[in-house]
Amino acid sequence: MKKYVFSFAASEFVNFRWIEFKSLAEIEQLSYSVSESKADWLRPYIVVEMENDDSVLSIIKRSVLIKSAFHLWCEAATLSELIEQVANLPNELIDPYLNGCGTFKIVLSSAHKKLKQEEKIPIIETILDAHERIDAQVSLSSPDHQINILLEYTPKNLGKNTINSGGQLCRLLYGRLIGSSIRRNMMNDYRLSERAHLGNTTMNVTLAAIMANVGLCRKSSFVWDPFIGTGSTVIAASVWGSFGGGSDIDYSVLHGIGMSPKAGQERRCGETLRSNYEQYKLESRYLDVMVADIVSLHKFLRIPYGGLFDAIITDPPYGFRERSCKVSEQPVERKPTLVTRHRLAEIMGVIHIGYV
């Protein structure tokens, strides 16, 4: 087992870091050793023992909370300790990257404290000088290998009564970049501002992707969302090969009827969840949607012998959300009221001929 470092993206959804990593390792059937302490997973860097680089790449190819992964060469609490460890690194570890025929560059990054370039250069030079020899050529624009120095400082928001005011160097990590995650590409490719069918409560792209990862959604999985709305959750699952479908009590949301949440725009013809799947070229992974109350579907969703679906991922409604109606199993006699044709179609999904 080798030691690797995962670098996380800022402080976004920090409480989901551990469960996302564990879920992705289960999907890929990987063995690993890592601290399960909540405090460790709240830090900007986490050290994980895994078998090889391929295992690490299989994690970061799906993770939306991990920013980058590195092969850890050495770790220390102070710069002087790190320099001692760098000087003692075995040649077989560093020669392919620093003494071969390829090119390299060194990047220094910090967490909880922003360093100016004039502060970074002396640290980089000191660590380079600690190596016995470096024969490889430097290339800042297109290197064959990237070596990283990761500095972790104590956070400054530790509370008013703490003695430590923050900004103190507490950990240094030194190693080789393995790769970066797809999180930035996914945020750009599936951004809500360009999605065809939206609602006022359409789920954040990042959170939907986390739910798909935690739900163990993978190729050929059947995924259901009983409060599907505009389908952010199942779209995120279908990106990874799952078949997505669901139900919702609100006919108008499923069929794109009513006001558009996009300011100054009208609903377009055919604006439905299916149009989102078509937009992302995922039509082959679209199951279907149905207008239904989840209360009446519990037997359908909870059948014996393992269940019908591989995963049920959803964002249940709570508090005051978008207005909806209840779909009854039996026809309900109502007192005559004056209702417009458009309003009836929006609420019930049917066109009535006569009105009172």
Q: pLDDT (tens digit, 9 = 90+) per residue, 110-162?
A: 998 899 999 999 999 999 999 988 888 999 899 999 999 999 999 876 555 44
Cα 260 from Cα 275, distance rounded (Å): 15
Report yes or no on 344 lying in a domain: no
147 and 55 in contact (C-beta within 8 Å)?
no
Give the residue-averaged pLDDT of 313-337.
Answer: 64
Same domain membership, residue 313 and residue 207: yes
CA distances from 313 to 66, 95, 160, 287, 349 (A): 22, 47, 40, 15, 26
pLDDT-derived band of residue 295, with 50, 70 and 90 as boundaries?
confident
CATH code of 299's domain: 3.40.50.150
Given this model, what pLDDT does residue 348 score? 57
Given this model, what pLDDT does residue 231 score? 92
Report yes or no on 340 lying in a domain: no
Given this model, what pLDDT does residue 353 score? 45
Q: Of the candidates 131, 164, 182, which is a domain's last residue?
A: 182
Q: Which two tokens stand for residue 251?
A: 């006919």
Same domain membership, residue 149 and residue 36: yes
Given this model, what pLDDT does residue 347 score? 55
Same domain membership, residue 197 and residue 116: no
- Average confidence score pLDDT of the chain: 85
Query: Residue 60: which domain range?
Result: 2-182
CATH code of 19's domain: 3.30.2130.30
Residue 193, SS3? helix
Same domain membership, residue 13 and residue 64: yes
Q: Which residue has the higher pLDDT, 355 or 186?
A: 186
Same domain membership, residue 220 and residue 98: no
**What count of other Cβ atoms lies within 10 Å of the Cβ of residue 25?**
18
Does residue 271 surpass a pLDDT of 50? yes
- What are the pLDDT digits (tens) for 76-104? 999 999 999 999 999 999 999 998 788 99
pLDDT-derived band of residue 356, with 50, 70 and 90 as boundaries?
very low
Does residue 338 surpass a pLDDT of 70? no
Q: Read off the pTM.
A: 0.82
- What are the pLDDT digits (tens) for 272-289? 889 999 999 999 999 999
Q: Of the candidates 147, 182, 217, which is a domain's last residue?
A: 182
Q: Which residue has the higher pLDDT, 334 or 50?
A: 50
Same domain membership, residue 160 and residue 17: yes
pLDDT-derived band of residue 354, with 50, 70 and 90 as boundaries?
very low
- What are the pLDDT digits (tens) for 19-53? 999 999 999 999 999 988 888 999 999 999 999 99
Q: Of the candidates 124, 148, 182, which is a domain's last residue?
A: 182
4 and 25 in contact (C-beta within 8 Å)?
no
CA distances from 181 to 39, 65, 66, 147 (A): 23, 8, 6, 17
Given this model, what pLDDT does residue 75 score? 95
Give the residue-averaged pLDDT of 227-238.
Answer: 93
pLDDT-derived band of residue 326, with 50, 70 and 90 as boundaries?
low
Query: Structural domain tally of the chain?
Result: 2
Given this model, what pLDDT does residue 297 score? 76
Report yes or no on 316 lying in a domain: yes
Cα 71 from Cα 17, distance rounded (Å): 19
pLDDT-derived band of residue 9, with 50, 70 and 90 as boundaries?
confident
Same domain membership, residue 303 and residue 235: yes
